[in-house]
Amino acid sequence: AQKITQTQPGMFVQEKEAVTLDCTYDTSDPSYGLFWYKQPSSGEMIFLIYQGSYDQQNATEGRYSLNFQKARKSANLVISASQLGDSAMYFCAMRELMYSGGGADGLTFGKGTHLIIQP
């Protein structure tokens, strides 16, 4: 089973509108962290926002916020007032505490959502 599911392969959004990118995750570890990364056409991965499983409040970073619904295991990224420069691939990723301690140490990524902002 996939650990990170992003159900929107692509999205078109009008400039200045808000956009929500969906992410659901699967883990039995009570301690985990969720990340969102942006990948522009240049290829590098840019960290956007982080949410810890025990964080009481939804994370916010400028125009980015995370709608964290722990019981539903969802961590949707919300971009307010979208801009043309927001056009990119967006990846949701997870790090699990148990997974980090004994096995592979990296992040588990979803397949991404290709967001295109239209003028």
Binding site for another protein (CB under 8 A): 4, 9, 31-33, 35, 37, 42-47, 50, 52-53, 91, 93, 95, 97, 100-101, 104-112
Q: How far is the CB of 38 from another protein (least distance, A)?
A: 11
Q: Min. distance of Cβ 111 from another protein in angstroms?
A: 5
> Any residues with CB less than 8 A from the CB of 7 and at least 6 apart, and which?
22, 24
Q: Minimum distance between the CB of residue 119 and another protein, rounded to whole angstroms?
A: 26
Nearer to another protein, 97 or 116 (CB): 97
Nearest to 93 by CA among 34, 48, 39, 26: 34
